[in-house]
Copies of this chain bind each other. A is one copy, B any other.
C-alpha cells in the first residue's frame, strides 16, 4: 500500500518539481500580509497556482507548510557523521552553528524576523517551533553519542547547542548593529561561559 502511494506520487511530482517551495513561499507571503489565522489552505494553493490536492500530498495542514524548509536534522546527522573523529564536540557544534548561520540566516534578517513575529501570534505555531528545536537537539545528541561522547555530556552539549542558536538569533533580530549572526554565536558562547563561572 505504501509502495503504491509512493509510485503514484512520483509522476505527479515531475510536473510540479518545485511544488513544496512554491507552496511554502505562497504561505509565507499570505501570513505576512494577513496573519496566520486568516490564511487558508485554498488561499495558499491559489497563490501558488497549485491544487489543494497537491498541497495535501506535501503537507498535512497550514501549520506544516510554514516549517517546510526547517528540517535541518538530516544536515546535522550528516555533519556529525562526516566530521573527523579528532574534532572535539564543542568545536563541531560551534563550527556547525556558524556554517548554519552563514548558509541559512545571513542576508535574510527581515524574513527571519517576520517568521518570528508570525510564530509568536499563534499557540499552534509556537508548539511546532518547540518541536523543531527539540528535533534539532535530539539530532545533535544522537550524533554526539555516535561519535563516542558519554550520554550526559552529549545531552548537555545538544541542549546547549539549541540554546546558543536560539539566544543568538534573538540577539541578531533585536539588535541591528551590523554584527553577523556567526559573530553573535561565538560572543554568546563567551557570555554563557562567563555566566556559568563559579562565584568567589
Contact = CB atoms under 8 A, between A and B. Distances in A.
Interface stretch (A52-60, A64-72, A84-92): A84-92
A95 B191 CA distance: 21
Copies of this chain, whole number: 2
Contact of A167 (B127, B152, B193, B198): B152
Interface string A141-172: 00000000001110111011011001100110
Interface residues of A, number: 33
A179 interface: no
A153 B114 CA distance: 24
A3 interface: no
A91 B199 CA distance: 8
A131 B125 CA distance: 12
A67 to B, nearest CB: 14
A81 interface: no
A191 B156 contact: yes
A174 B150 CA distance: 13
A199 B166 contact: no
A110 interface: no
Contacts of A152: 167, 170-171, 188, 191
A5 interface: no
A196 interface: yes
Contact of A156 (B88, B89, B134, B163): B163
A192 B127 contact: no
Interface of A: 88-91, 127, 130-131, 134, 151-153, 155-157, 159-160, 162-163, 166-167, 170-171, 174, 188-189, 191-193, 195-199
20 contacts: A88-B199, A90-B199, A91-B199, A127-B130, A130-B130, A151-B171, A152-B167, A155-B166, A155-B170, A156-B167, A156-B188, A156-B192, A156-B195, A157-B195, A159-B159, A159-B163, A159-B166, A193-B193, A193-B198, A196-B196
